[in-house]
Structure 1
Amino acid sequence: MLSFLCRVFVDSWVGRVVVGLFFLTFVGWGVGDVLMNIGTERADVVARVGPDPILVPAYEQALRMEMPQIAQQMHLDDPSQIPAATREQIAQQVLQRMILQDEVALAARNHGLLVPDSAVRAEIFAIPAFQDKSGKFDRALFNTRLRSSGMTEARLIELVRAEQASKALMEPIRNGATAPASLVRRIFDLEAQTRRVDIVRVPFAAQTPAAPTDAQARRFYANHPWQFEAPAYRHARIVVLSPQTVARSITIPDADLHHMYEQQAQRFNTPETRSVQVITAPTEARARELLATWQGGANWDAMQKSAGKDSASVEMDDIRISSVPSQELGRQIFTAPSDTVSPPIHTDGGWAIFRVIHVTPAHISDFDSARPALQAQALAERVQAQIGDRVQKLQDAIAGGGLDSIPSDLGAVAVAGNVDAHGMTQEGTPAPIPGSTAVRQAIVARVFSQPKGSAPELLQAPEGTWYAVSIDGETPARAQSYEDAAQKVRDAWMDDARRHAADQAATMLYTQAQDGGGLAHIQPAVADMVHSAPFSRTHDVNEVPHDVAEIAFRLDHTGQSLMVEADGAFYVATLTDISTPDPAAQRMLFDRIRTTLSQAVADDVEMSYAQALQAIVKPKPNPSAINAVMSAVSGKGNAEAGQ
């Protein structure tokens, strides 16, 4: 049920706070825990959470709303066509959501958290899905949206009340979790630290060794025979069916794309969002006292400490104006300039001061701009729905008549020709096998492992690709004579000699740098040396290859040197500077790291609390009632539902 609210009413304040917890806790909550607590229960109870029953009608309504959506996504005409295993998974997921919701609501009730009708009404009125173009609650739109989604008004009120009680319980738990300052500083130092190097590139191509004599070339030929042989080739007929090949055979009508665009208006028409730090105080005098401290240069950590017990502080990331509980506060936040502390504002909850730390402008994409994304989404959905059936038809066709009887409407691609073990043709070009490198490697490996003349077999490659191979000819590998490979031998000898010369030159520079304290101290001065710009673990610079930067961050102190082979050259570099900025100089980065880590800590705390609730409450499902609901919803029983 909460997934329904998340999809339809995603902009609500309560949805942003509570639904995130529920999705997180699903990861650690398994049906195995429930199995330990199965007991005898009356037929109209699907599960019991403490003293509270989850009744059959509520569970049936939740599944009735979930099943058609899943069937539509799978392009099925009726929920009864959903495979039994999928129906079982849906039933478990819906039941888990309802149980978890009731567990948190029960905990909130046990702590005496009651939600007044006025708060529930205000929350529902603030849901954008129920508002007209002017932003006011529209009763007719409210009724229409509920009716189209199968949600009753009473059930919505019940859900919102439970969510608000859960929010009142969970927000203090989450807000009290912060990342340790030492950890934040450690991560900041790792990410923000920059280094500089003096660097010299010694490219292979710049070396000019003398051409080999005939004796040298012949000796190189004798010592590297594997480099000078014509490879084995196999003549293969290959059929490939993949999501990409199927997609090429599907046409999406414009009418369908227009309908998707209308259904996903929020995706392509996003309002402005802002990240803001807010402190609320009980009186104007207290707010002005905090304002003076903030404007005096105090950072956010200091302001949170200054707020003390009589005030509250919160940092909200990427919120919409509709997500701010106070209309006046929301209006002020969304008209204030960035990075400026506001004067005190009177709100329903007291006085507030704030600082906008980031603004993401509103973005509107018209249909033509959204078309590529809609096209890709529609193709992905239809491919997912159809590929299983097409694979079965391809398998039947191959079994019935081999590779000559494949229907043209399956979206399969056929290629034929000679290919070597590296996937190259006799002309030295890559064989036109559709798919990624991993797919091509799997198919070529099959070409060289399948016996010649054996019947083709439909096999699965990486990335959801299916293929079949037929081998009808082969050319064994053969050694090339020195006379036939003479030019190739000389080219290979020169390549090897250039690399060896570059290695010697770079090694001499590296040894001098190590002994003399760095490249800058070598005499005479190195002509091609470059003083690099600062680089970090997350930001490379053009003159410093990533391999060099990675090793540079392993060095302990300036003056140390390194030597690396990369990109057709040897690099010699000396570490010349290590700089760790003050967090005050990179406030946005420091705040982002602190926020990310604090969110991770808060997630862990929420997870621990949810697991503790699970151990205390010990929910008891009723498998027979679950099976009865499944039969009513999908038209088929499922003896394993809830197990």
Structure 2
Amino acid sequence: MARAALPAAQSPQGVGQGLPGRALFALLRGKVVTAVMITAMRRFFVGTWAGRLLVGASFLAFLGLGGTFVGMGGLGGDMGAPDAVIKVGKAAITAPELGQAIVRQVNYMRNQGAPLSALGAPAMRVQLANSALRQLILGLEVRRVAKGAGFLLGDGAIREAVMAMPEFKGADGRFDPARMNALLERSHLSHADLVKETSTAMLMGSIMAGMEDSATLPESLVAPVLRHYGLRVVVELARLPQQAPASVPAPAEGELERLYDNHKDDFRRPEYRHARIVIMTKETVGKTITVPEKTLRAIYDERKRDYNVPTTRSLALVNFPASDGQAANDLARAWRAKSATSAALNGAGLEGFARPYKGAVPVVLDDARQEDLPDAQLAQQLFKAPVGQVVGPVKTAAGWSVFRASHAAPPHVVTFEQARPKILDEVRTAQAEPALREHVAALQEAVASSTALDKVPADIGAVAASGEIDHEGRMEDGHIAPLPGSAALRRAIVRQIFSQGPGQPPAVIITPGGEAFAVLVDATTPSAPRSFEQARPAVLEAWQRQGQRHAQNERATALYLLARQGRLRQGASTMPASVGTYKAGVVFSRLARPPYPARVVEAAMALPVGHATMIEDDGAYWVLRATARPAMEAVDEEALRARLVARLNAGLHEDLLETLGLGYTREKPPTHFNPALFASTSRAALGQAGLPPAP
């Protein structure tokens, strides 16, 4: 059964946040690991109330309809329905049922933080639609098999199961119909859907009774995974960027000419293309959004506390019960003496200072307001005391207090007129993404009727630009063209300019991030050789870069030789910060990987203690030496083992379910599939769910 490979950049950072149990189990069996986005779809069914309704019916057969995991929806309509997408026995799945299932699936993924760029990708669009249909089919298969096996469910049993769901219970622990209805509404489910899906889950549970409990993984499979994820390596490392300030000897003219002759293609004048561009981003669309003045004023009023700040003070207090007045006096004397000879006490310093005194309770308040302090009498004294002076003990409602004000800030008021631009930007930013999706359609219509990109309305949030650039997006003067939008958008525009033929009609292209653009290439200047005199500045720059890189390579090699002798720290101690950096005690672990390039991490994890290596990656030379491979603490190892076993067993149980479902669908395969209706329903549902049109 084929599955998409997990990209290297998305490798697990830890067992708790990385691969699910099934994917870990797949590693042991040599399977390809499931993609991260599809993993999120699986978590819908094991981590949410709606998913648990169908946990028994999930992860079953691979039906040949494409896709891997599951969606949600009703459980079939009349076989003779004219809008039937597919049929299973005497039941049919209708287009409205499929559409609702797709919308629910997309909404869940977006609520979990899945970006539109991922959900809108062609492969993911197919996956969302196919998996939704697949789960609807499996629901029908389960009910068919259960009926044939004689499993019957009464209304009372279903009602008890629904009322027992913890997500439907109120604060008092009792079933709350209002809470249930709210959750159903947010999930686009009716009461009938809930009843059908609950009954399906219960039927599947009956069919699967005893199978999961009898299947467990042997220690021979658990131990290698535990060793893999439990490995930790402590490393000292030095990083030397390839381009760093270095004194490069001035080259002779003959050396520059030789560099030019050996690399003439590197110094050619690049091909330039002149293009007209129309760009639409969240920022450009946001500027067209009109926000009513009353909305801005209402937001300002809600934040008045932030915009109207009275006098504030940063305070350090030590409070005592009424019975510990002597301890308060002793602390006050010691604090005054300490303040006269050292810096102010705050945070952990104050806590440590107060610890020896009986009944002492240290408190640190930053930017405190007098009105927020519970003891009005004490608050008055706190705000009258001279800044920097230890005061007390003073009598309070709760006992005694010794305090010191370290800083006082005057009142500060931000008027509505001053706050308005920032509030307006916030509102526009919040509304920009849905507005962008709406405006893209208007841009497509405008571009379709404007072969020269000269009829795009100014009020839809698109901006126009034109100019001549090379394949790196640079203008003739060497500077990057100032196009709006993200770096990814600019790269996409440049790629399109150099892949689109001159005079070819423009078309709107939507990026994975939802941004849109269209280009019209109206002139091309071919690449041409430059004479040495014309290219001399670029040749000199290349010479200097080579010299800097060579110098850094020599420095890194010298450090590597010292690292092999265990003297990396000594060698790096004389290295200027502008040349490189050194760190000791860096812990590399598969549970908490440091923020270093993947090749650096791989090299560090493979190093035996006392061994060193040197690699080139991410524009730098890296010298690493392993200093220790500490074993996991027994408590941590046991916790990791428990998590691994739970996930691995979950994957095994899912395989059992998948195998069982495969048998069901072979016994009674779906029939009368309507691909045209499936495609049109999928497109409409994905658009309704907010995904941009397919490219």
On the 8 A contact 2:231/2:589 being kept in 1, the answer is: yes
Flag the 1:94–1:227 CA change in 2: closer, same or farther, 3 A.
closer
Q: In structure 2, which of residues 59, 65, 71 is the aligned counterpart of residue 30 of structure 1?
A: 65
2 CA distance for matches of 1:565 and 1:90?
Answer: 41
On the 8 A contact 2:465/2:483 being kept in 1, the answer is: yes
Which of 493-502 and 175-184 deviates more? Answer: 175-184
Identity of aligned residues (%): 26
The residue aligned with 1:602 is 653
What is the root-mean-square deviation in Å for CA atoms of aligned residues? 5.5
2 CA distance for matches of 1:12 and 1:523?
Answer: 48
Counterpart of 2:490 in structure 1: which amino acid?
R
In the TM superposition, what is the alpha-carbon distance from 1:617 to its structure 2 partner? Answer: 3.6
In the TM superposition, what is the alpha-carbon distance from 1:440 to its structure 2 partner? Answer: 3.0
Counterpart of 1:216 in structure 2: which amino acid?
E
The residue aligned with 1:185 is 223
State the secondary structure of the residue aligned to 1:585. helix
On the 8 A contact 1:249/1:409 being kept in 2, the answer is: yes
On the 8 A contact 2:496/2:519 being kept in 1, the answer is: no
In the TM superposition, what is the alpha-carbon distance from 1:421 to its structure 2 partner? Answer: 2.3
Q: In structure 2, which of residues 52, 67, 73 is the aligned counterpart of residue 17 of structure 1?
A: 52
The residue aligned with 2:588 is 535
Counterpart of 2:530 in structure 1: which amino acid?
A
Flag the 1:372–1:546 CA change in 2: closer, same or farther, 3 A.
farther
Which of 568-577 and 105-114 deviates more? Answer: 105-114
The residue aligned with 2:464 is 414
Q: Deviations over 1:205-244 (max 9, x none)?
A: 3654433344434444444445555545443221235677
The residue aligned with 1:210 is 249
Flag the 1:384–1:200 CA change in 2: closer, same or farther, 3 A.
closer
1:236 equivalent to 2:282? Answer no
The residue aligned with 1:460 is 509
Alignment gaps of 5+ in structure 1: 1-5, 33-40, 74-87, 257-370, 635-643
The residue aligned with 1:278 is none
Counterpart of 1:574 in structure 2: which amino acid?
R
On the 8 A contact 1:198/1:520 being kept in 2, the answer is: no
Alignment of 1:259-278 (within 5 A): none
On the 8 A contact 2:275/2:520 being kept in 1, the answer is: yes
1 CA distance for matches of 2:99 and 2:623?
Answer: 67
1:403 equivalent to 2:441? Answer no
2 CA distance for matches of 1:531 and 1:149?
Answer: 51
- The alignment's TM-score, normalised by the length of structure 1, stands at 0.57
On the 8 A contact 1:232/1:478 being kept in 2, the answer is: no
In the TM superposition, what is the alpha-carbon distance from 1:15 to its structure 2 partner? Answer: 4.1
1:520 equivalent to 2:566? Answer yes
Flag the 1:386–1:597 CA change in 2: closer, same or farther, 3 A.
farther
In the TM superposition, what is the alpha-carbon distance from 1:520 to its structure 2 partner? Answer: 1.1
Alignment of 1:408-447 (within 5 A): 408-447=458-497
On the 8 A contact 2:267/2:535 being kept in 1, the answer is: yes
Counterpart of 1:502 in structure 2: which amino acid?
Q
On the 8 A contact 1:560/1:574 being kept in 2, the answer is: yes
Flag the 1:62–1:376 CA change in 2: closer, same or farther, 3 A.
farther
In the TM superposition, what is the alpha-carbon distance from 1:597 to its structure 2 partner? Answer: 2.6
1 CA distance for matches of 2:235 and 2:106?
Answer: 59
In the TM superposition, what is the alpha-carbon distance from 1:161 to its structure 2 partner? Answer: 3.5
On the 8 A contact 1:509/1:519 being kept in 2, the answer is: no
Flag the 1:145–1:586 CA change in 2: closer, same or farther, 3 A.
closer
State the secondary structure of the residue aligned to 2:468. strand
Alignment of 1:41-440 (within 5 A): 43=80, 53-54=90-91, 62=97, 97-109=135-147, 113-126=151-164, 136-137=174-175, 157=195, 159-170=197-208, 172-202=210-240, 205=244, 207-226=246-265, 228=267, 231-241=270-280, 249=288, 380=433, 383-384=436-437, 387=440, 389-399=441-451, 402-440=452-490
1 CA distance for matches of 2:186 and 2:569?
Answer: 82
Q: In structure 1, which of residues 536, 547, 564 is the aligned counterpart of residue 615 of structure 2?
A: 564
On the 8 A contact 1:14/1:163 being kept in 2, the answer is: no
Flag the 1:43–1:109 CA change in 2: closer, same or farther, 3 A.
closer
On the 8 A contact 2:276/2:465 being kept in 1, the answer is: yes
Counterpart of 1:415 in structure 2: which amino acid?
A
The residue aligned with 1:275 is none
1:552 equivalent to 2:604? Answer yes
On the 8 A contact 1:24/1:603 being kept in 2, the answer is: yes
State the secondary structure of the residue aligned to 1:120. helix
Q: In structure 2, which of residues 639, 653, 660 is the aligned counterpart of residue 588 of structure 1?
A: 639
2 CA distance for matches of 1:42 and 1:546?
Answer: 54
2 CA distance for matches of 1:573 and 1:140?
Answer: 60
On the 8 A contact 2:439/2:460 being kept in 1, the answer is: no
Counterpart of 2:665 in structure 1: which amino acid?
Q
In the TM superposition, what is the alpha-carbon distance from 1:607 to its structure 2 partner? Answer: 1.4
Flag the 1:175–1:385 CA change in 2: closer, same or farther, 3 A.
farther
2 CA distance for matches of 1:541 and 1:143?
Answer: 45
The residue aligned with 2:400 is none
Flag the 1:592–1:386 CA change in 2: closer, same or farther, 3 A.
farther
State the secondary structure of the residue aligned to 1:406. coil
On the 8 A contact 2:259/2:539 being kept in 1, the answer is: yes
2 CA distance for matches of 1:501 and 1:154?
Answer: 74
On the 8 A contact 2:268/2:529 being kept in 1, the answer is: yes
2 CA distance for matches of 1:179 and 1:146?
Answer: 37
Number of matched residues?
471
2 CA distance for matches of 1:587 and 1:411?
Answer: 57
In the TM superposition, what is the alpha-carbon distance from 1:199 to its structure 2 partner? Answer: 3.6
2 CA distance for matches of 1:508 and 1:144?
Answer: 67
2 CA distance for matches of 1:413 and 1:422?
Answer: 21
1 CA distance for matches of 2:208 and 2:425?
Answer: 40
On the 8 A contact 2:45/2:58 being kept in 1, the answer is: no
In the TM superposition, what is the alpha-carbon distance from 1:512 to its structure 2 partner? Answer: 6.7
2 CA distance for matches of 1:190 and 1:123?
Answer: 41
Q: Deviations over 1:115-143 (max 9, x none)?
A: 45543232233457876775655679989
State the secondary structure of the residue aligned to 1:581. coil
In the TM superposition, what is the alpha-carbon distance from 1:406 to its structure 2 partner? Answer: 1.9
Q: Deviations over 1:464-507 (max 9, x none)?
A: 6441213257586562654x665654443233223223323433
State the secondary structure of the residue aligned to 1:563. strand
State the secondary structure of the residue aligned to 2:449. helix
